[in-house]
Amino acid sequence: MARNRLTKEYREISRLEDVSIKLEASPEDLHDWNAYLKGPEGSPYAGGTFTIRLQCPSQYPLSPPTVTFVTRCFHPNVNFETGELCLDILKTDWSPAWSLISVCRAVVALLHDPNADSPLNCDAGNLIRSGDMLGFRTLAAMYTKEHAT
């Protein structure tokens, strides 16, 4: 089941004309993908390109992929050390209707609008929750420049 779905998504992705997202399957394993995401304009991540890894379980699409940031990212929903991502659609709100490209779009949306209520990076989350958006945006932009450009 997973292989058929991933093959279908592979064909659809090859026709994708979205320059902000590039998805590539591993030549050795169709269950292992890398995505290259452009930081959204108007966010402190603009100008950066972030690599994320998507690993699809054998139960995909009934079970969500595991998504981790390969590029370090200062964001409340990303563990700075491990790259672990906290995103509701990858946990409680997963649906087989989601595809790898829609997961990538959700990650880009999260970069634009962080959720400080469920932080994996407490420093980033605390800055936002305390109302210090200038501090958060400055640090996020600095780390983007250092790690994603």
Count of Cβ atoms closer than 10 Å to residue 50 Cβ: 24
Inter-helix orientation angle 133-147/122-129, to 10°: 150
Per the structure block, which two tokens stand in for 143? 């780390």
The residue written with tokens 């906290």 in the block is 86
- Residue 14's Cβ-side half-sphere holds a number of Cα atoms within 13 Å equal to 7
Question: What gap in Å lies between CA 142 and CA 149, rounded to an integer?
Answer: 11
Query: Is 86 assigned a catalytic role?
Result: yes
| Catalytic, out of 56, 86, 104, 122 | 86
Residues annotated as part of the active site: 86
